[in-house]
Amino acid sequence: MKKIRKIGILTGGGDCPGLNAVIRAVVHTACNGHGIEVCGIIDGYAGLIHKNVRPLIPADVSGILPRGGTILGTSNSDNPFQYSELGPGGVREHRDVSAQALKTIEYNEIDVLITVGGDGTQIIADRFFEKHGLPVVGVPKTIDNDLNGTDVTFGFDTALNTATIAIDKLHSTAEAHHRVMVIEVMGRYAGWIALEAGLAGGGDVILIPELPYRIDKVCDKIRQRTASGKRFSLVVVAEGAKPEVGELVVARKVNDASDPIRLGGIAAKVANQIEDMTGIESRYTILGHVQRGGSPTPFDRILASRFGYHAVEAAVSGKFGYLVGLRGTEIKTTPIKEAVAVPRRVKAEDDMVRTAKAVGTCFGV
C-alpha cells in the first residue's frame, strides 16, 4: 500500500455540534501520531469543485473543541456527480464535475479523503471510491441519527438536549395557561429526536414518521387527560410525521439540494386540528435550526473525537470505503455502501417505543 503522506478532510451536509471535535482529532492524530499532513476542504464538496483547500496544523484547531458549526464550512447542495448551475437562457442544468473535483485532490497531493457527514455526503464518498478508486473513510454525522453503521451519530445528543430543554420550558407555560403545546422537532424521515426528547420531556403525545397517526386518537388522549383533571398536554411531533390518511407537510421544494423537500409546518396543522376538535386552546412551537447550533455536549465531543481518531487509524490501515461507527462501546468499521443502503429509523417494536407506551404516551395509533 502506498504510504500516506497527506489526508484531506471535509464536512458535508447540514451542520451539527461536534464537527470541530472531529477535525481537531484528525489533525492531532495524523500530524502528531503519524507525521501525516492534513488539509481541510472548504465548504464540503464545493471546495473540491472550486479548488478551495487549506492546510491544517495543530495550531489551527486549538480551542475549537467546544465550538458548534465547523471551521471548514459545509454545503448540502454541491454534489460533484450532479452539480447544479445556470446554463444558457438561465435554465438550471446538472453536470458531472467529479473529474474536476479529482483534479483538486491530485493537485493538493491528497492520499486519503475523510468525509464527515450524513447519508448524502457518504453516498457521494462511496461513488468516488467505487467509480474513481479514491481512498475514502467516512465519519457519520447527523442530528437525525438515521445513518446505519453506527448505534448513534454525533450531533444527535446535543440536538436531543436542546429539544428536551425546550419541552421542559414549554411544560410550565402549558400548565399555567391550561393549553395544549405542540412542539415540532427536526429529524427528516426519522423519529429519533421526537421519540427520545418526548420520552425525556414527558410528552403526552409523540408523533413520528414511522408510525402514521390518527388525529382522532390524539384528541382522545387529550380529552382523557382533561377528564382526569390534567388541564394541559404536550405534543411532540417530528417534522416528517404524517397522518394515516394524508401527506407530509412540506414547507417548500428546492431543486439544487440533495433532498429537494424541505419539511416543516406539521406542528401548526396538528395544533389547529386539536383546537378545532377539542375546543382546548392549542399553540405550537417549531424549534428548527436551534437544534443544530451551540456547543456540543460532552458525549458528542468525546464521540466525535473518537471518530476522528479512528478515521485516521482506518486510513493508515488501508480500510478505504469504510465508515467508522459506534457499536456498543467500541468503534467499528462498516462498508459505506452498507451503511447508506437503508436509513436507520424507529421500529414499532423498539424498546423506547414500548417504554413510552408503558408510561402512558400516545403515538396516535
Contact criterion met (CB below 8 Å) for 164 and 200: yes
Active site (annotated) includes residue 144: yes
Catalytic residue among 126, 144, 157, 300: 144
Do the Cβ atoms of 172 and 232 come closer than 8 Å?
no
User: Distance between CA 19 and CA 16 in Å, rounded?
Assistant: 7
Burial of 348 (0-12, 13-18, 19+ CB in 10 A): exposed
Q: Are strands 37-41 and 53-56 parallel, antiparallel or unpaired?
A: antiparallel
Q: Which SS3 state, helix, strand or coil, does residue 230 take?
A: coil
All 3 cell numbers of residue 313?
Answer: 487509524
178: left (phi over 0), alpha (psi -120 to 50) or beta: left
Three-state DSSP state, 250: strand
**Chain Cα centroid distance, residue 246:** 26
Residues pairing with 39 in the sheet: 8, 55
Quickly count helices (H) and strands (E) in the chain.
12, 15
Give every CB contact of residue 94 below 8 A, 6+ residues apart in sequence: 82, 83, 84
CA–CA separation, 281 vs 270, rounded Å?
12
Indicate the pairing of strand 250-253 with strand 233-238. unpaired
Task: Note whether 4 and 316 are within 8 A (CB).
Answer: yes
Phi, psi dihedrals of residue 277, rounded to the nearest 5°: -90, -25
Give me the phi and psi of 218, to 5 degrees please.
-65, -45
In the three-class reduction of DSSP (H, G, I as helix; E, B as strand; rest coil), residue 64 is classed as: coil
Euclidean distance between CA atoms 81 and 94, whole angstroms: 8
**Which residue numbers are catalytic?**
144
